[in-house]
Copies of this chain bind each other. A is one copy, B any other.
Amino acid sequence: MNKTRLEAFSDGVIAIIITIMVLEMKVPHGADWEALKPQWPVFLSYVLSFVNVGIYWNNHHHLLHAVHKISGGVLWPNLHLLFWLSLMPFATGWMGENHFAPLPVAVYGGVLVLSALAWMLLQRALLRIPGNAAILVEALGRDWKGKLSPLIYLSSIALAFVHVGLSLAGYALVALLWLIPDRRIEHQLRNHGE
Copy total for this chain? 4
A10 → chain B closest CB, angstroms: 8
Q: How large is the interface on A (under 10, 10 to 19, 20 to 34, 35 or more residues)?
A: 35 or more
Main secondary structure of the interface of A (DSSP, over half): helix
For residue A163, CB closer than 8 A to chain B, the reply is no
Task: Tell me, in angstroms, the Cα distance from A15 to B19 when the chains sit together.
Answer: 10
- Return the contact of A11 from the options B9, B73, B93 (Cβ within 8 A): B9
Task: Tell me, in angstroms, the Cα distance from A50 to B90 when the chains sit together.
Answer: 15
**Chain B hits for A16, CB < 8 A:** 12, 15-16, 19-20
What would 10 more interface pairs be, CB under 8 Å, given A20-B22, A31-B104?
A: A8-B11, A9-B57, A12-B15, A13-B19, A17-B19, A22-B86, A23-B89, A27-B97, A57-B79, A76-B179
- The segment from A58-66, A134-142, A148-156 found at the interface with B is A58-66
Task: Tell me, in angstroms, the Cα distance from A186 to B186 when the chains sit together.
Answer: 31
Taking a contact as CB atoms under 8 Å apart, the answer to whether A181 and B57 are in contact is: no
A64 → chain B closest CB, angstroms: 8
Task: Tell me, in angstroms, the Cα distance from A75 to B185 when the chains sit together.
Answer: 15
The 8 A CB mask of A87-118 against B (1 = contact, 0 = none) is 10110011001100111100100000000000
- Return the contact of A72 from the options B6, B29, B101, B181 (Cβ within 8 A): B181
Taking a contact as CB atoms under 8 Å apart, the answer to whether B7 and A5 are in contact is: yes
- Return the contact of A15 from the options B13, B18, B87 (Cβ within 8 A): B13
Task: Tell me, in angstroms, the Cα distance from A36 to B107 when the chains sit together.
Answer: 10
A66 → chain B closest CB, angstroms: 11
- Return the contact of A14 from the options B9, B17, B61, B97 (Cβ within 8 A): B9
